[in-house]
Amino acid sequence: VPGSCLAVGRFVEKKAPEVTLRAFAKAAHAHPEAHLTFIGDGPLLERCRAMAAAEGVAAQVTFTGALPHDAVRGHLAVTELFLQHSVTAKDGNTEGLPTAIQEALAAGCVTISTRHAGIPEAIEEGVNGFLVDEWDEDGFSSSIAKVLAMADRSGLAAAARATAVAKFDNDILLARTEAVIRQTVAG
């Protein structure tokens, strides 16, 4: 769906849903076709609902609450931009490489995220998505606006799918592991 954005995850500090929402709001004011769906639940959900209204984007943001995995996949299948502003929480809690990002790439979603933990291993700047520093709300918003302004996002989407196959497909990873073992055993 043109202009569709999706964020999936618990409404907790390390996912920075407030940063995602404010960044989307800034970009959405220039892109009335943009719509953000948040899937997830957690302690920051109600604050984010109120923030969407305060930022003037309540009509452009949907909060679904927690959904079963196949429903999340259904949303990914019709989404253009996947947004994940992962950060290191005050208590030191971090992510690795979120499964949601791997699934978004596999669905062909252009992913905008942060240079956090393992995320840069999956997102190639300007190839299959865009990265910003943690807590860089303006940079995150600019990246969202940049992608929304692109007339053709199909190259980024194709690169996202190719990344998922090359880096996360279990059959390919297993074949690579077997090849390394055979080479090692063969000496």
pLDDT tens per residue, range 69-114: 999 999 999 999 999 999 999 999 998 888 999 999 999 999 999 9
So what's the pLDDT on residue 94?
92
Q: How confident is the model over 138-166, as pLDDT tens digits?
A: 999 999 999 999 999 999 999 999 999 88
Q: Given this model, what pLDDT does residue 24 score?
A: 99
The whole-number average pLDDT for the span 32-45 is 98
Domain ranges of the chain: 4-186
Of the pLDDT bands very low, low, confident and very high (cuts 50, 70, 90), residue 171 is: confident
- Name 5's bridge partners: 36, 81
Q: How far is CA 98 from the centre of its chain?
A: 9
* pTM across the whole model: 0.90
Q: Look-up: residue for tokens 């077997």? A: 178
Mean pLDDT of 108-135: 97
Residue 145 makes CB contacts below 8 A (sequence gap 6+) with 26, 27, 30, 31
Topology of domain 4-186, per CATH?
Rossmann fold (3.40.50)
Across all residues in the chain, what is the average pLDDT? Answer: 94
- Cα torsion 41, 102, 168, 74 to 10°: value is 80
pLDDT for the residue numbered 172:
63
**pLDDT bracket for residue 38 (50, 70, 90):** very high
**Cβ atoms of 131 and 120 closer than 8 Å:** yes
Task: Check whether 173 has a pLDDT greater than 70.
Answer: no
Query: How many whole angstroms separate alpha carbon 132 and alpha carbon 110?
Result: 14
Residue 39 has pLDDT above 80, yes or no: yes
